[in-house]
Structures are given as C-alpha cells and as structure tokens.
Amino acid sequence: MQRALLIAGPTASGKTAYAIERAQASDALIVNTDSMQVYDVLNVLTARPSTEELAQAKHELFGHVDPAVRYSTGAWLDDVAPLVREAAQSGRELIFVGGTGLYFDALINGFAQIPEIAQEVIQEVEAVIQPMSDDERAAYLADKDPKMAARLNAPDPQRVARAISVMEATNRSLADWQDDDNAPSLIKDWATEKIVLNPERELLRARIAKRFELMMAGPAMDEVKALLARELDPSLPAMRAIGVPELAAVMRDEMSLDEAMDKAITATRQYAKRQRTWFRNRMKDWRWIDPFE
C-alpha cells in the first residue's frame, strides 16, 4: 500500500531535521506543507531548509513561488497532485512537512470547490484586518461571518481574510462552501502516519529567539532589501512574512534593529501559539511527540 508520513508542528519545532531523518531511512520525498516556505527570495526569513539540508534528501515545493503571487491552498494542491501521482506509480513514500494546518486538512479531507475570489476583494479585506489584534479580528469575523467564527479556534490573519473575502465575494459563508461535497482527498486509501511535533513551551520560545538571532547574522536583511526593490504590494503574503515588515521599518529608519528583532520574535511566538491551538483542536487523533526528549 502507498505510504505517506505527515509531520506538522509549530515554527521552530524541529520539523526539518525530523523529516530529513525519516526521509533518509526510507528514501522518501519531502514535500513542503508550509504556506510561507513556498516563496522564493525568503530563504532565511521563512526558515526554509538550508542548501546543506536540501542535499540530504529530495525536497519539492520549497521556494518555487514568486513573491508577487498570492499563493493559495488550492494552488498548493494543484502542485502536489503530480507528485502524488508520480509517487503512486513509483511506490516512493511521501513525507509532507510544515506548519500550515489548512494544507494538511485539504490534503487529507479534500478541498471545497470555492469560486475564485477577485484580488481586489482580497486586498481590501486584508487592508482592513491587517492592523487588528487577535481579539479585534475575532470580533470582526464574528460580525461578518458567525459560522466561520465558530469554526476558527485561532483568529489567524490569513484565515480570517480568506473567510471574509469569500463572504464578500459570494454572499455565502466559507463554512457553507466547506460543507458542500469537496474534491476528493489526494491521498485517499493511502496508509498514513500523522505526527505533530510538540516541544516543551519554554524550549520552543528559546528556539524561536535563537533562530531569529541566527537569521539576522545571515542574509535576512538582504532578503528584505531584494523584496523592497521590487516595489511589491505590501499586502502580499510574502511581504507580510514575519520579519519582513519589521526589517523594512529598520531600513526606513522607523525602528531600531533591536526593536525590530524584539517585535519579530514576539510575532513568531504568537504565531507558534496560534499554530498549536489549531493543531490541538484539529489534530487530536495525531501522534504528538517531543522531538527533543
């Protein structure tokens, strides 16, 4: 039977090392399942596998999307489909690894066939919710789409924007679209092993801080300069990647480097907390392990 290993976990939880270890043991193909690591240019700031790590096992869908593109779950599934077909023909195991719960959900359960939403609608919604706090986003979603507000356990900006954009464009809740018949799972009938990496909380917080310090010792600032030089729409997902707005503010002399690092580290920790909340609510039946024990 065809096999797939699914490895989820919050940012900085050791997913890359764990996936490579498992891939080397089975000659598996590692498939990126993280919505930020798909983007080109942001090699360091999205914590993509390094050149050395990429050489240790075969990887796909890392850095293959231009930062000017608004990549979506549907686009990711379209990119994954030929990899699944090839693996089914060759018998090679696939390892899906990342921190984007919605990608895993779509992979396992299929994906709602929602009409394409105009970019203008998405941009308008993103501009409204971007400055909001978690509580403000949750309240705004509850007002606009109470059905989706009840389903989203963490008011992640991207998911809130998606829900409100669908409501604005179709006059129908995303929850209703999701309840319709989905396209079938890409790995239906596969044997799957599902793992959530769950480090101890304080260790994860320390790893997040240390990792961002290492990013700053590398070419993180150069990555942001490269993005800014293209004069891209600041509402694009790649332009909102943690670290990009903060370092851009440093370049505009609006913030000190120390302040930018503190803000980015805090934002990363908050993101990890939202990821864990999503995993706890949606991946209860997965095997939870601490990779550092």
Q: Tell whether 14 is in a known binding site.
A: yes
Number of domains in the chain: 3
Q: What would the two tokens of residue 37 be?
A: 């690591």
| Least confident among 10-19, 115-124, 233-242, 255-264 | 115-124
Confidence of residue 290 (pLDDT cuts 50, 70, 90): very high
User: pLDDT tier at 181 (50, 70, 90 boundaries)?
Assistant: low
Q: Do 190 and 247 belong to one domain?
A: no
CA 65 vs CA 20, 90, 113: distances in Å: 22, 26, 22
Confirm whether residue 210 is marked as ligand binding: no
Verify that 19 and 72 share a domain, yes or no: yes
- Do both 25 and 95 map to the same domain? yes
Where residue 215 sits, what CATH number does that domain have?
Answer: 1.10.287.890
The pTM of this model reads 0.84
Q: Would the annotation count 15 as a binding residue?
A: yes
Q: Is 101 marked as a binding-site residue? A: no
Q: Which pLDDT tens digit goes with each residue over 3-38?
A: 999 999 999 999 999 999 999 999 999 999 999 999
Residue 99 assigned ligand-binding role: no
Q: Do 192 and 94 fall within a single domain?
A: yes
Measured CA distances, 145 to 88, 150, 192, 194, 271 (Å): 40, 9, 34, 31, 23
Mean pLDDT of the chain: 93
Our measurement of the distance from residue 261's CA atom to the centroid of its chain's CA atoms, rounded to an integer in Å, reads: 21
What's the CATH code of the domain at 20? 3.40.50.300
139 and 14 assigned to the same domain = no
Q: What is the CATH classification number for the domain harbouring 164?
A: 1.10.20.140
Q: Which helix (H) or strand (E) holds 62?
A: none
Q: In DSSP terms, which residues pair with 96 in a beta bridge?
A: 6, 31
Looking at the structure, tell me whether residues 86 and 31 fall in a common domain.
yes
pLDDT at 116: 79
- Would the annotation count 10 as a binding residue? yes
* Share above pLDDT 70 across residues of the chain, in percent, rounded to a whole number: 99
Q: Which of 211, 187, 194, 196 is nearest to 278 (CA)?
A: 196
Q: Are residues 171 and 40 in the same domain?
A: no
Distance CA 270, CA 212 (A): 14
Average pLDDT over residues 65-70: 95
Do 67 and 191 fall within a single domain? yes
| Together in a domain, 75 and 195 | yes
Let me know whether 175 and 208 are in one domain: no
Number of other CB atoms surrounding residue 153 within 10 Å: 13
**Does 195 lie in the same domain as 208?**
no
Q: Does 126 share its domain with 173?
A: yes
- What residue numbers bound the domain in which 88 lies? 3-113+182-199+278-289
For the chain, give the number of residues.
293
